[in-house]
Amino acid sequence: MASTKVSNRASGETETGDPSKGMITLASVRDALIRQEDTIVFSLIERARFPHNAPVYDPSFLGSGQSLVEFFVRESESLHAKAGRYQNPEEVPFFPDDLPLPLVPPCDYPEVLHPTSASVSVCEAIWNMYLNDLLPLITVKGDDGNYASTAAADLACLQALSRRIHYGKFVAEVKFRDAPQDYTPAIRTKDGDALMKLLTFERVEQMVKKRVEKKAMVFGQDVTLQDKGNKVEFTDGEIKCKVDPSVVCRLYDEWVMPMTKLVEVEYLLRRLD
Amino acid sequence: MASTKVSNRASGETETGDPSKGMITLASVRDALIRQEDTIVFSLIERARFPHNAPVYDPSFLGSGQSLVEFFVRESESLHAKAGRYQNPEEVPFFPDDLPLPLVPPCDYPEVLHPTSASVSVCEAIWNMYLNDLLPLITVKGDDGNYASTAAADLACLQALSRRIHYGKFVAEVKFRDAPQDYTPAIRTKDGDALMKLLTFERVEQMVKKRVEKKAMVFGQDVTLQDKGNKVEFTDGEIKCKVDPSVVCRLYDEWVMPMTKLVEVEYLLRRLD
């Protein structure tokens, strides 16, 4: 069973190499995913500072047919491309067409991913989920006029989600390298369902959901000096969080983890091309 | 003494009006400052994900004589200006010259600040402090090639610091409205030192430093599921934080609070023009 290997690797019992040399390990991939949870929770808390600010998403607002958020993300991705962001295979843009060339010298990121698989993107699904499903859950209704800051906060959320979900490529690669014999038959027969089953670990997913919920509680609390000493105590329902922890749990349950596995399946289906 | 009034207002005993109508209160100003501490700590933690990445700050790196961070911040401010960011008097750009006009309709921010005083800016001092003093304290030496993400993280830190420090204008305005008789003589005689004394409350500053240090501990901890229940316990030195809490304390002590008071003094000196 692949699951046993996963938990062995995750607990650091075996290593396949040094990530800086392109030899990723399940432990290094898991650490990156855990660190990215913090970034996602921070970005959601920061977005929740502003109300929904509907004009940001209204295609008629700017008079150009493009919503302010789309304009803002497109222009930002163009700037980030000039600064070399998309040389890093961890970064997947929402609007990849016509991005300018980097002004910075090429960076030698280790070639970890299979070249054909590297192009997998679920950005459109992330974009729609974020704007239609997630935003109404983390913001209050209203309009405070801070549209630029709102769009900038959206950009941070979208980039954090894109990076996390497309990290599924690295997850898939390390799982494949770890047990090619487990995945090869399903890849050969293009059996996406079988791959999805091989990539699903209920127990791990439960843990991730619990952890991100807890992060939303810890990072979203109002830190005051009334607490005694250096001890922070809180219980469910007692503290007011800046983003509802159950929404962050649901974000991972309904969207982040399923989309990550979709990326993993799509990646593996091309892995032997 | 102005200090008594400050602490009365801060504890909500008196109110001068509704912030949405331009009637700010010491309580609303204090709440905004406290919330901005979270944003600053989050942004520092996110910057600390990357090593120092010296090429980002090297004026010869792009071949244009402009460092990547300056290029990135200038271009970002241009985009943010188009989205209307600087219509909000809370936002002060680092490179205000030649910013494009907003593409969004004008937003009616309440006119809280005195028109002559609104232009006060200490952005150059913030820029130099951030790059020369703070960055080496929150990053490890090294170069991982993630220059675009590094510059984007710098932008977030710089904007959060600029907003927090220039919020001193609102602090000064509300303090002046609260006790014009305390400040008017020193304003008339252009006595900056006397104003600085009137604006300094040691006890409040000690509290702020303690609180931001604690926020760095709470938000910068590794949240795991090993803890019992919903209780998070930590003690000094026992947890590893993503940004050294004592550095965040020092940031406020040596730079944020002194620069805020400088903004307050500069604001007040023009308040009766």
Band (pLDDT 50/70/90 cuts) for residue A165 is very high
Nearest beta carbon to residue A146 from set B55, B61, B88: B88
Angle made by CA atoms A214, A39, A218, in degrees to the nearest 5? 25
CA-atom Rg of chain A in angstroms: 20
Token duo for residue B171: 């602090």
Spatial separation of the C-alpha atoms in residues A100 and A102, rounded to whole Å: 7
Q: Is A98's Cβ below 8 Å from some Cβ in B?
A: no
Closest CA to B166 of B36, B273, B46: B36
Using a CB-CB distance cutoff of 8 angstroms, which residues of chain A are in contact with residue B81? Answer: 148
Q: What is the reported pLDDT for A22? A: 61
Q: pLDDT tens digits for A71-127?
A: 999 999 999 999 999 999 999 999 999 899 999 999 888 889 999 887 899 999 999
CA–CA distance, B26 with B15 (Å, rounded to integer): 8
Cβ contact B99:B70 at 8 Å: no
DSSP for A210-241, please give it: HHHHHHHHHHTS---S-SSTT-B---TTTS--
As beta bridge partners, residue A232 has B232
Least CB–CB distance from A223: residue in B71, B215, B242: B215
* Residues B72 and B155 sit within 8 Å (Cβ to Cβ): yes
Cβ neighbours of A10 (radius 10 Å): 15
CB atoms under 10 Å from CB of A224, counted, come to: 10
- Tokens 């791959």, residue located: A195
Q: Which of A38, A46, A83 sits opposite B148 (nearest CB)?
A: A83
Strand partners, B232: A232
Domain ranges of chain A: 2-269
Any residues with CB less than 8 A from the CB of B128 and at least 6 apart, and which?
Answer: none
Q: Which CATH number fits domain A2-269: 2.60.120.260, 3.40.50.460, 1.10.590.10, 2.40.50.140?
A: 1.10.590.10
Please name the residues in contact with B40: beta carbons below 8 A apart, sequence gap of 6 or more. B157, B160, B161, B164, B212, B248, B251, B256
Q: In whole angstroms, what is the distance from residue B39 CA to residue B53 CA?
A: 23
Contact A45 B42 (CB under 8 A): yes
pLDDT at A69 over 80: yes
Can you say whether the dihedral through the CA atoms of B53, B56, B58, B63 is positive or negative? positive
A203 and chain B in contact, CB less than 8 A: no
User: What is the predicted pLDDT for the residue at B10?
Assistant: 33
Report DSSP letters for chain B, one per residue.
-HHHHHHHHHTTS-----GGGT---HHHHHHHHHHHHHHHHHHHHHHTTS---GGGG-TTSSSSSS-HHHHHHHHHHHHHHHTTGGGSTT---SS-TTPPPPSSPP------S-TTGGG---HHHHHHIIIIIIHHHHS-S---S-HHHHHHHHHHHHHHHHHHHHTHHHHHHHHHHH-HHHHHHHHHTT-HHHHHHHT--HHHHHHHHHHHHHHHHHHTS---S-SSTT-B---TTTSPPSS-HHHHHHIIIIIIHHHHHHHHHHHHHTTT-
| ipTM associated with this complex | 0.90
Instruction: Round to whole Å and give the CA distance between B160 and B166.
Output: 10
The pLDDT value recorded for residue A80 is 98
Is the Cβ pair B223, A215 closer than 8 Å? yes
B215 touches chain A (CB under 8 A): yes
CB A221 within 8 A of CB A239: yes
Note whether A62 contacts B: Cβ–Cβ < 8 A. yes
**Cα gap B26→A43, rounded to integer Å:** 28
Residue in this structure with the two tokens 């000094």, named with its chain if needed: B236
Q: A198-203, long-range: CB within 8 Å, 24+ apart, which pairs?
A: A198/A2, A199/A172, A199/A175, A199/A261, A199/A264, A199/A265, A199/A268, A200/A261, A201/A3, A201/A6
pLDDT of residue B18: 45
Give the C-alpha separation, B103 to B156, whole Å. Answer: 22
| Contact (CB, 8 A) for B158 and B66 | no
In chain B, which residues have pLDDT < 50?
Answer: 1-19, 227-237
Tokens linked to B48: 């600390």
CA distances from B74 to A83, B68, B96, B130, B152 (A): 13, 10, 9, 16, 12
DSSP 8-class letter at A57: G
B42, B75, B236 member nearest A230 (Cβ): B236
Model pLDDT, residue B21: 52
Could you say which residues from 139 to 198 on chain A have a Cβ atom under 8 Å away from some Cβ of chain B?
145-149, 151-152, 156
Q: What is the dihedral of CA B32, B37, B38, B42, to 10 degrees?
A: 140
A224/B85 Cβ within 8 A = no
Q: A152 with A72: CB under 8 angstroms?
A: yes
The pLDDT > 70 percentage for chain A reads 87
- Tell me whether A232 touches chain B (CB under 8 Å): yes
For residue B82, the one-letter residue type is K
pLDDT of residue B240: 84
SS3 readout for A59-74: CCCCCCCCCHHHHHHH
Contacts of B65 (CB under 8 A, 6+ apart): B59
- For the cut 60, the answer to whether the pLDDT of residue A57 exceeds it is yes
Residue of chain B with shortest Cα separation from A210? B225
Query: The domain B38-167+201-269: what is its CATH number?
Result: 1.10.590.10
pLDDT at A1 over 50: no
Nearest CA in chain B to A107: B145
**How many other β-carbons are positioned within 10 Å of the β-carbon of residue B54?**
14
